[in-house]
Structure 1
Amino acid sequence: MGREEALQYLKTAKGQVEAVIKMVEDGKYCIDISKQILASISLLKKANVKILNAHLGSCVKNAINSKDTEDIDTKLKELGEIIEYLSKVI
C-alpha cells in the first residue's frame, strides 16, 4: 500500500512543480512561488516516508525472516545512512 500512496504524492508533486515552473516563467509573485515550492517539498517528504515504511515492511522484514545476517546488516546499514542523511537536512 505504501508505494501506491507514495506514487500518488509524487504525481501530485510533479504537477505542482510544473505549475511552479509556469509561475516563474510568468513572473508571478515570489512569495506565492515559494509557498508552492514548499508544498511540493512537503509532498516529496510524505512520499519518502511511505517508501521508507514500505521498505521496512518488505525488504527489511524479509531480510530478518531469512536470517541472512549479511542481508540484515546491509539493510541496517542502508537505514542508518538514510537516518544520518535525514538528520543533516531536517
Structure 2
Amino acid sequence: MNEGRKKALNLLKTARGQIDGVIKMIEEDRYCVDISKQILAIQSLVKKANLNILDQHIKNCVTDAILEGKGEEKIEEVMNIIDKYLK
C-alpha cells in the first residue's frame, strides 16, 4: 500500500470514528449546531482522503498511461471525478 493510500485509510478510519460520535450525539439529543460542526469535520476528512487517492492515481496510473501513449482515457477519468467533486 502506497503512502497516499495509507493517509486516505487513516483519514477514513478517523471519519468513521467521528460518524459513530455524531450518531451518539443525535441519540443523546445534543445541540444541533454542535452536531452540524462535527458533520462538517467528517466531510473535510472524506474530501482529504479522496484527494490523497486522486493524487496517487495521477502520480502513478495516469503517469504510466501517458508514458504508454494511453493517457487520454485516464485523464478523462480524473476530469470526471473533478467535475463531480466541484458539484
TM-score when normalising by structure 1: 0.88
Aligned to 1:15: 17
Aligned to 1:74: 73
* In 2, Cα distance between equivalents of 1:23 and 1:81: 36
- CA deviation map 1:52-85 (0-9, x unaligned): 1010111101111222x3xx22101111111211
Aligned-partner residue type, residue 46 of structure 2: L
Aligned to 1:49: 51
CA RMSD between the two structures: 0.9
Conserved 8 A contact 2:66-2:72: no
Displaced runs of 4+ in structure 1, greater than 3 A? none
Query: 1:18: Cα distance to partner?
Result: 0.7
Q: Alignment identity in percent?
A: 51
Aligned to 2:85: 86
SS for the counterpart of 2:46 is helix
Gaps of 5+ in 2: none
* In 1, Cα distance between equivalents of 2:48 and 2:85: 13
Query: 1:87: Cα distance to partner?
Result: 2.2
* In 2, Cα distance between equivalents of 1:62 and 1:75: 10
